[in-house]
Structure 1
Amino acid sequence: MGNLLKAFSNPFYRTSSLEILLFFVGWGIWWSFFQIWLTTKQGFTGAQVGTIYSFGSAVTLVLMFVYGSLQDKLGMKKTLLKFIVVCQIFVGPFFTWVYVPMLAANFYVGAVIGAIYLSIAFLAACPVFEAVTERLSRRYSFEYGQARAWGSFGYAVAALCAGFLFTMNPYLIFWTGSVVAAVQLVVLVALSPEKNAALTSQYEVQSETLKESKTPSFGEIIGVFKLIDVWKMIVFVIMSWTFYTVFDQQMFPEFFTRFFATPEAGQQAYGVLNSIEVFLEFLMMGLVPILMRKIGVRKAILLGCTIMIVRIGGCGLVTNPLGVAIIKLLHAPETALFILAVFRYFTLHFDTRISTTLYMVGFQIAAQVGQIIFSTPLGALHDNIGYQSTFLVISGIVCVASIYAFIVLKKDNESVEGQPL
């Protein structure tokens, strides 16, 4: 409790936490039901849903590198965040008057237009908010995991509300996202503790400020692609974290709702499960940094892999909704371990000045590449052999990725070129 009160006394922690909470509320209110909306309200097949996700991943792939490079150049400035939030305000009008008519008129054109907008406003934006928060945490003396936890809490609340809004009127989830984005824009403009010299001098870590003062050159940013250790991480992420979206967003929602007598009952149950799951993720975000200090970053990543294998494989074996729901809750520690440990791996072994680009390229972009590779084939596989057999295939792929990670990941005391543990 003392540590929590100390964290809240830091205005940089409070502001960063509020910003990331609002982002995840505005995203989660519609994203948590996006796959269900595509299948039950728009009537798309698994292969078509896979195509929509693949198009989104392809655009996000390019945009993430652009966003990462821009943010590394901007450093602590929130100009890019404000642009993103302005785009998010239009999510309600976009889904109501643009996306649905275009998908009906020409599926592929609609999928491309949707991919461009959703990537600009949400899909490529998530890691920018995370990276800015992580950078602020190092500079202004607070724990990144504790701030990122509020994002998970926001998503949990949003998912719970979305389950009820969706059954009332599916378009409510998108318009609620617009309202939340408008609130966030006010917060971004109004709250700027970094402009207060007294607060800055009280909380600033001088060594981090000195690093940030040396803005990385474009050559240093592009040089990320020349690092063999980054490519090792890219291969690992493609074979593992890729399935966070393929399994959790593209497949699991409809799979779970099929256990219930009516679609409405299933959708509300899924909303409740999703909110419980992400609330647990909120708790784990605060606990994983403590765990990492005890077992190390490398072991934390490997533990995340083990949980993913059990979780996805378990959903392929269990045949009742309660059992599936319990296994799905393992998502909470898995997500916290992957997000925090992988980010810490980059800031431990690489130059922290290009942390945003490293996180984008080595984790987020790699996952998008994986989604492009796997989304449509696994969607088609599910159409042919069903959800549960497909889950076992995914679990097998992650098992191979875990063995690969055990071999290639650096130990915590090797090549420490960033911020030491």
Structure 2
Amino acid sequence: MQNIFTKALRNPFYRTGSLEILLFFAGWGIWWSFFQIWLTTKQGFSGAQVGTIYTFGSAVALVLMFVYGSLQDKLGLKKHLLIAMVGCQVLLAPFFTWVYVPMLESNFYVGAMVGAVYLAVAYLAACPVFEAVTERLSRRYSFEYGQARAWGSFGYAMSALAAGFLFTINPYLVFWTGSAVSAVLLAVLLLLKPENKEANVAAYENSEERNKAVKSPSLKEIVQVFGIFDVWKIIIFVILSWTFYTVFDQQMFPEFFTRFFATPEEGQQAYGILNSVQVFLEFLMMGLVPVLMKKIGVRSALLLSCLIMICRIGGCGLASTPLGIGLIKLLHAPETALFVLAIFRYFTLHFDTRVSATLYMVGFQIAASVGGIIFSVPLGSLRDSIGYQSTFLTIAGIVLVATLYACCILKKDDRDVEGQPLEA
């Protein structure tokens, strides 16, 4: 394992891609990990109102993800779109301080919609673009995507840990820190370009992937993704499973966990530490899952992630102590690594890799956004009426149904291999 890691570090494309995705997740995690707590404890919104904010964000991201995916498939490895998105991220603190909060106070629905547009443009729809570009870089320049994506989890973990302390000092510190990290990321995108050195390209470029990328997909080929029946099967699966990554982890769990402590400040610091430990474990799992996936296969990895999700969400509905809930929450690490890496590999295994960004957006990210639109407000209202833990058990039941459905529709790894075979 150490030799694999050392070899990867020698690859300048791996180093650059890893640094970019680390800074993106660090700049996002520093405030996003406390967004739900900020909305409920600092702004005083109910579960239904928080659900509305998440729903609006998911709705805007739904449209924008297809646009971003189509643009990035046309751009290939060019980073113009990433630079534009990061430019918006630099404005995070000014937007939240002087635009978002006053608008929410004066007219909740107008503020929620304006905030949704900004969040979708800068973050919600930007995240899968960073992941898609990094995955494409990994295939083109000979490194393991999971190892690079792991640095994103590491960045998020470090930010979540810092956020737990910054938030208790002044909630707005997390937003200003996010802007500062994004400014560093913008400089990295503009200055670090290993592809400009011929020696780097000659040493690491995969000629087969280069030849595939010579002809970028046409708009017709990109739009035809919506006509693939197998993609729609995956969309339904994602709506009934990964949707709850957002609904449970971001919309409900933070405030639920902090209620077990004597003061809100103590709970917020404990949540920051828990979130950091969880995402640090996710960082480790991101490096290990590619090895595991080669042994058990892509389909089995997806099914295993769903089983872990059922145990994690259902377990939080049954546990009654902060220690027990915290330990169960750590199952998030293998669950996330398995699902994110396996779903991406499923698309590049069974479909044309030239439209991988669009497939990832439509089949995974957009599907999850649709699920967010469908479930955020109803589950927020359900939480208001029956409490957190009964709602968690309801969610676990839905994911169980999704897992049974996945057993029927997910293709085996050796069937319909139209992309990059596992042997590669």
> Does the TM-score normalized on the shorter chain lie above 0.5?
yes
Residues 133-172 of structure 1 aligned to structure 2 (within 5 Å): 133-172=134-173
1:294 Cα shift?
Answer: 0.1
Tell me which amino acid in the other structure corresponds to 2:382.
L
The answer to whether 1:415 aligns with 2:377 is no
Runs of 4+ in 1 over 3 A off after TM superposition: none
Q: Which amino acid aligns with 2:4?
A: N
User: Which residue in the other structure is 2:250 paired with?
Assistant: 249
Amino acid at match of 1:89: V
> 1: distance between equivalents of 2:295 and 2:352?
24
Q: Provide the rounded CA distance (Å) in 1 between the counterparts of 2:278 and 2:183.
A: 27
Amino acid paired to 2:93: G
Three-state SS of the structure 2 residue aligned to 1:68 is: helix
Distance in 2 of aligned mates of 1:305 and 1:214: 37
CA distance in structure 2 between the aligned counterparts of 1:175 and 1:196, rounded to whole angstroms? 35
Structure 1 position 201, deviation (Å) = 1.1
Following the alignment from structure 2 to structure 1, what is the Cα–Cα distance between the partners of residues 236 and 345?
18
* Aligned residue in 2 for 1:358: 359
Question: Superposed, which structure 2 residues align to 1:118-133 within 5 Å?
Answer: 118-133=119-134
Give the Cα separation in 1 of the matches to 2:144 and 2:409.
28
Q: Quote how far apart the aligned CAs of 1:391 are.
A: 0.1
Find the aligned partners of 2:182 and 2:389 in 1 and give their Cα distance.
37
Q: Which residue of 2 aligns with 1:232?
A: 233
How far apart, CA to CA, are the structure 2 residues paired with 1:77 and 1:351? 19
- Equivalent position of 2:71 in the other structure: 70
Residue 140 of structure 1 aligns to which amino acid in structure 2? Y
The letter for the 2-side match of 1:156 is A
- For these two proteins, the number of residue pairs brought into alignment is 421
Question: Structure 1 CA distance, aligned partners of 2:180 and 2:296?
Answer: 42
Q: Are 1:56 and 2:57 matched, yes or no?
A: yes
For 1:260-291, what per-residue CA distance to the aligned partner results, in whole angstroms no more than 9, with x for missing partners? 00000000000000000000000000000000
Q: 3-state DSSP class of the match of 1:260?
A: coil
Q: How does 1:191-230 map to 2 (within 5 A)?
A: 191-230=192-231
Q: Secondary structure at the match of 2:414?
A: coil
Code of the aligned partner of 2:168: T
Q: Distance in 2 between matches of 1:309 and 1:127?
A: 24
Alignment partners' CA distance in 2, 1:49 and 1:61: 18
1:64-122 deviation digits (Å, cap 9, x = unpaired): 00000000000000000000000000000000000000000000000000000010000
- Corresponding residue SS for 1:180: helix
Amino acid at match of 2:101: V
In 2, the alpha carbon distance for the partners of 1:268 and 1:11 equals 37
Residue 387 in 1 paired to residue 391 in 2? no
- Distance in structure 2 (CA, Å) of the matches to 1:268 and 1:73: 44
Give 1:108's aligned residue: 109
* Residue in structure 2 matched with residue 173 of structure 1 by the alignment: 174
Residue of structure 2 equivalent to 1:39: 40
TM-score (norm 2): 0.99
How far off is 1:317 after superposition? 0.3
SS at match of 2:36: helix
Q: TM-score if structure 1 supplies the norm length? A: 1.00
Alignment of 1:344 with 2:307, yes or no, is no
In 1, Cα distance between the equivalents of 2:292 and 2:230? Answer: 25
Unaligned stretches of 5+ residues in structure 2: none
Q: Distance in 1 between matches of 2:247 and 2:401?
A: 17
Residue 238 of structure 1: how far off its partner (Å): 0.1
Partner Cα separation in structure 2 for residue 131 and residue 169 of structure 1: 34
Q: Distance in 1 between matches of 2:3 and 2:336?
A: 26
